[in-house]
Amino acid sequence: MLRIDVLTLFPGMFEGVVNESILKRAQTKGTIKLAIHNLRDWTRDKHKKADDKPYGGGPGMILSCQPIFDAVKELKGSRVILLSPQGKKFEQKVANKLAKQKHLILICGHYEGVDERIKKLVTDEISIGDYVLTGGEIPAMVLIDAITRMIPGVLGNKDSAANDSFQEGFLEYPQYTRPSEYKGLKVPRILMTGDHGKIAEWRRKQSLKNRGKN
């Protein structure tokens, strides 16, 4: 079982995502244990304040190091991941690697960033792309989803994860279902031949073609 603890100032953002579809089933089956924590629960300030103005001046607020240090110490994760624009780009191979861990702690940055001193705790700093988001909550959801589906037993079909886009550096081939023709648009004939060898060859060619478009 993989345990994932998330530290955030906005736990309500996760409610719909973690309680639907594959993530909900994975928790019900006991494949993952997912806990979303309000970082304010570790503050020592009577007002539950978890941020402050930056030293040296500048706009916005910075997440304080004290509640993060205390939370990570209490939760004791094997890997501590900071979601940050400065982090390493998140890719499928990273998801595959993290899915083999026992316990992840995800720290959602917010406002203008986090106190630099918390990076002493961090084993991985990850970004989901070169664009600006309000905080690390959405990137954390992306990691949780991508990692969870790589855990054996999470997906209904054992081949589903292996055939996902990016697993072999390719994008997934086109998929079709019934009816075989709709508004003049037909399913490729090769897919209805029952010749699994030729179908596999066609799918690989289509994956290569899709990679060229990316």
85 is catalytic: yes
Question: What global pTM score does this model have?
Answer: 0.85
Which 3 state secondary structure label does DSSP give 120? helix
112 is catalytic: yes
25 is catalytic: no
**pLDDT digit string, tens, across residues 142-180:** 999 999 999 998 986 555 555 554 455 567 899 999 999
164 is catalytic: yes
From the list 41, 52, 70, 112, the catalytic residue is: 112
From the list 85, 125, 174, 211, the catalytic residue is: 85
Task: Determine the average pLDDT of the residues in 170-196.
Answer: 92
The alpha-carbon radius of gyration of the chain (Å, integer) is: 21
CB atoms inside a 10 Å sphere around CB 138: 15
d(CA 156, CA 147): 16
In this structure, are residues 106 and 144 in contact, taking their beta carbons and an 8 Å threshold? yes
Question: Which of 188, 164, 166, 167 shows the shortest CA–CA distance to 176?
Answer: 188
From the list 124, 137, 164, 203, the catalytic residue is: 164
**pLDDT digit string, tens, across residues 39-52:** 999 999 889 999 99
CB-based contacts of 131: which residues, under 8 Å, 6+ apart?
Answer: none
**pLDDT digit string, tens, across residues 37-88:** 999 999 998 899 999 999 999 888 999 999 999 999 999 999 999 999 899 9
Spell out where the chain has E strands.
2-8, 32-38, 51-52, 62-63, 79-89, 103-108, 124-127, 181-182, 185-186
From the list 25, 40, 149, 211, the catalytic residue is: 149
